[in-house]
């Protein structure tokens, strides 16, 4: 059963920014001021809501929530796009009875077009009446673009002798190989937290979740993950134990959501779990998992259920990682197919057929006895991915 943290309300409305006949605007609002943490894209072309969101958080980490639109990214729209973003916050805040600095903006969709601000002026007066009449599932649906299903995860722990709830939602299916977060993600929590610790905890959890997935090797202009904690449970995450437990829950939520993104990859049918161990450093291991996970040849072989080890070792060899090829061992699941510089003899295809038919395929690479390691979840590359992205703007 869906568990919503205390003191948070949701709204989902149809604004008609790009889509017709569906909700494309979501609002997440805390009844009381909440501590906000956020991690944004490192893409040099940063969307207007990323720029404005950073400005708001630079002034204060205490806000009330986020407003998110789907269909138009408000990216590469110049100064005018930033002005549009700020005006949208002013309009929303006016009808919600809060400050425009209380809302963090977020957008997803087509890069380039500006908002039709008349649509914002039409929908803004409806926000207050809609607040609380939608649940988190409806809000998650409103922020979808090419997603096939809404992505939510939730959980509860004991903290300071009281129950604490956390709920996360995200959207994303394409343009995903993040170097910060992934697409859009929003997490609500009713614990009372220290702002600096909350920000650090979110970044640590993102590095172990959203930063460990890839669909197509692209990092968006809009990638954002935000986390809000309003203290409505009256539970304080002050002790080391309570902080550790709360961060463990945050990590679990982030990892569930990031897996769903790869599971829902545009046109995707499989998830490849790539694990590299024994590397000279974590950096070398990271180079290798991304080379393998982003290789079109590896990804198409995965789609075809072909255990083509040659494509994997070739990707590993060009990754830029320092390693001795004679020490590399490659396995699918528990079945070793390559070691000491050459393949294992025998009919490996027959042995691997049951593994390759599964939705989740484990690819394990050991490079030696180094302490470096990394993992990445990657989708396959299918004909449908091309169909979706060839027609995305139409």
Give the other-Cβ count within 10 Å of 151's Cβ: 26
Q: How far is CA 138 from the centre of its chain?
A: 18
pLDDT in tens, 326-364: 999 999 999 999 998 899 999 888 999 999 999 999 999
**How far is it, in rounded angstroms, from Cα 207 to Cα 39?**
10
Do 244 and 290 share a domain, yes or no? no
In a shared domain, residues 133 and 225? yes
pLDDT in tens, 184-228: 999 999 999 999 999 999 999 999 999 999 888 888 899 999 999
Query: In the chain, which ranges are continuous DSSP H helix?
Result: 48-59, 78-96, 117-123, 127-130, 136-142, 195-207, 240-263, 282-293, 296-303, 309-317, 348-356, 383-390
What's the pLDDT tens digit per position in 78-133?
999 999 999 999 999 999 999 999 999 999 999 999 999 999 999 999 999 999 99
Q: Whole-angstrom Cα distance, residue 210 to residue 221?
A: 16
CA distance 386 to 390: 6
What integer is the mean pLDDT of 12-33?
97
Are 232 and 275 in a shared domain? no
3-state secondary structure of 311: helix
* pLDDT tens per residue across span 240-286: 999 999 999 999 999 999 999 999 988 899 999 999 999 999 999 99
In sequence order, the 6+-apart residues with CB closer than 8 A to the CB of 5 are 164, 165, 166, 167, 188, 189, 190, 230, 232, 233
Quick one: 241 and 275 in the same domain? no
| Claim to verify: residue 113 and residue 90 sit in the same structural domain | yes
Q: Residue 3: inside a domain, yes or no?
A: no
The whole-number average pLDDT for the span 19-44 is: 96
Q: Is residue 2 part of a domain?
A: no
Residues designated catalytic: 182
Regarding whether 254 and 287 lie in a shared domain, the answer is no
**Domain span at 168:** 8-263
Is 1 inside a domain boundary?
no
Name residue, tokens 């979501």: 26
| pLDDT for residue 394 is more than 70 | no
39-69 residue pLDDT tens: 999 899 999 999 999 999 999 999 999 999 9
- Give the span between the Cα atoms of 20 and 70, in whole angstroms: 12
Same domain membership, residue 170 and residue 116: yes
Q: Which of 240, 263, 286 is the last residue of a domain?
A: 263
């Amino acid at each position: 059963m869906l568990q919503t943290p205390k003191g948070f309300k949701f709204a989902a409305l149809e604004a008609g920014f790009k889509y017709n006949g569906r909700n494309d605007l979501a609002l997440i609002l805390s009844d009381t001021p909440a501590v906000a943490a956020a991690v944004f894209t490192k893409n040099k072309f940063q969307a207007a809501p990323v720029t404005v969101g950073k400005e708001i958080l630079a002034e204060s980490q205490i806000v009330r929530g986020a407003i998110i639109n789907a269909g138009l990214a408000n990216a590469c729209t110049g100064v005018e796009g930033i002005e549009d973003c700020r005006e949208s916050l002013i309009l929303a805040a006016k009808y919600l009875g809060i400050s425009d600095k209380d809302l963090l903006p977020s957008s997803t969709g087509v890069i380039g077009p500006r908002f039709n601000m008349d649509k914002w002026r039409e929908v803004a007066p409806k926000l207050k009446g809609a607040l609380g009449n939608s649940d988190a599932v409806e809000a998650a649906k409103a922020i979808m673009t090419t997603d096939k299903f809404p992505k939510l995860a939730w959980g509860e722990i004991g903290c300071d002798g009281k129950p604490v709830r956390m709920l996360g939602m995200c959207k994303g299916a394409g343009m995903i190989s993040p170097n910060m977060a992934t697409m859009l993600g929003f997490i609500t929590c009713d614990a009372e937290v220290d702002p600096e610790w909350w920000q650090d905890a979110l970044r640590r959890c993102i590095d172990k979740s959203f930063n460990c997935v890839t669909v197509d090797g692209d990092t968006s202009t809009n990638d954002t993950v935000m986390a809000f904690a309003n203290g409505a449970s009256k539970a304080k995450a002050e002790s080391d134990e309570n902080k550790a437990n709360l961060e463990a829950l945050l990590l679990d939520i982030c990892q569930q959501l990031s897996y769903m993104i790869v599971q829902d990859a545009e046109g995707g049918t499989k998830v490849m779990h790539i694990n590299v161990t024994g590397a000279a450093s974590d950096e070398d291991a990271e180079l290798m998992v991304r080379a393998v996970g982003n290789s079109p040849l590896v990804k198409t072989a995965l789609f075809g259920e072909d255990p083509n080890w040659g494509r994997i070792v070739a990707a590993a060899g060009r990754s830029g990682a320092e390693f001795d090829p004679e020490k590399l061992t490659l396995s699918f699941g528990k079945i070793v197919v390559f070691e000491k510089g050459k393949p294992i003899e025998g009919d490996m295809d027959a042995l691997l057929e049951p593994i390759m038919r599964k939705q989740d395929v484990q690819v394990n690479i050991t490079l030696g006895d180094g302490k470096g390691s990394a993992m990445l979840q990657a989708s396959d590359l299918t004909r449908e991915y091309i169909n979706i992205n060839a027609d995305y703007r139409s």
